[in-house]
Copies of this chain bind each other. A is one copy, B any other.
């Protein structure tokens, strides 16, 4: 037991000063027709919680996690799994997520990699059975090993592409075996450091082919989950190919695979790309490619991926509003791709960060549900665009009008349309009324 002083986290809003209870997340409470657990589908991640020891570019690890002090790689991997599943269970979170090399040592050869991973998938399978935990998604880490310094699928070296393909093969198979509901691709170093040495077209073709192979493999093995791409604009590379949702959409269309992938949207990646989190969610929904969420936040004044626990209830409410309105998650969920601040060195901080994230999402769910009861946003939107259901609007949208006809019509009718108030301030006030009522 790594967290021996900590019991299973309970819902108990009365314990105001106890940081180790949920104040809002009550798994079985029904909101808008489903339980909170069904709506929110929370997952915790392996990497930040169990593989990272608090190091940053300017300093060494601060956490001193016991399970990372074990020197034998496989023994460490098993200790990590013990710690992880103890944590997941005590947190009462239903799902988890991992990269291949989070759970299993890379070894000194590709054979060792394959063997280690196979062993650890057995361990994970058993842990899942023991605890009831489920796998929200699996993925392969194609960015940490030095071989991937110049990218994996977009590497200038086809053997490195091959190595990456091998990892994805095994990670997809493992995800299927562990009942994972999605498989994620995040192109950590699929981008460039400088255009001076980069062939954009070549790298894009490589990435396109790689993704097609992933689709083919999915169908071959009969994986029923969803394939997810996670956009990020930069960091670690100067510029990454999966910049944002709109960019990935164009890429998917180019390679004819837009029906095969959905988006795993991370809040902090959205803001690094110059968008709000809400924007990325709404864009993905509007394009029919919304899938899942990496719930976290960036710092509004810092230009790198801080991966903080989500705290901004206003934004989270709008995100939950979009998701519920679009029918809710199917295979996706809310994964906390969050890391503790490097100063938060107590073991219980790991719980407190997640409890906050879960509580803030639960508040957001309740507030979104409140909006939906009498949806002033949807009413305003419907009223604002209503003339597009009229004769002129319909005829335009059906493709029945030409520029010439419209120009003639305008002249014939001497049209002089005027802008109507967008009432942004009114809507902002209404939203805060719901948030703070």
Contact = CB atoms under 8 A, between A and B. Distances in A.
A16 interface: yes
B417 A159 contact: yes
Copies in the complex: 4
Given A54-B149, A114-B411, 16 more contacts: A58-B188, A59-B189, A64-B146, A161-B396, A165-B410, A166-B410, A169-B403, A170-B407, A197-B424, A213-B403, A238-B302, A303-B303, A313-B435, A343-B422, A345-B419, A352-B426
A155 to B, nearest CB: 8
A145 interface: yes
Given A146-B419, A157-B417, A301-B238, A206 B111 contact: no
A392 B303 CA distance: 38
Interface centre among A54, A285, A422 (most CB of B within 10 A): A422
Interface in A158-213: 158-163, 165-166, 168-170, 172, 188-189, 193-202, 204-206, 209, 212-213
Contacts of A201: 286
A143 interface: yes
A24 B200 CA distance: 32
B349 A423 contact: yes
Given A59-B144, A274-B274, A313-B432, A417 B198 contact: no
Contacts of A220: 402, 404
Contact of A404 (B169, B349, B411, B419): B169
Contacts of A71: none
Given A344-B423, A388-B158, A60 B146 contact: yes
A137 interface: no
Contacts of A212: 399
Interface residues of A, number: 163
Contacts of A168: 403
A235 B416 contact: no
A344 B427 CA distance: 11
Given A57-B236, A314-B312, A417-B157, A110 B411 contact: yes
A146 B359 contact: no
B421 A59 contact: no
Contacts of A163: 410, 415, 417
20 contacts: A54-B146, A58-B188, A58-B235, A59-B143, A146-B418, A147-B417, A149-B422, A156-B385, A159-B417, A163-B415, A166-B406, A197-B423, A199-B381, A206-B388, A206-B397, A311-B314, A341-B424, A343-B424, A344-B423, A435-B436
Contacts of A233: 274
Contacts of A160: 417, 419
Interface stretch (A28-36, A120-128, A275-283): A275-283
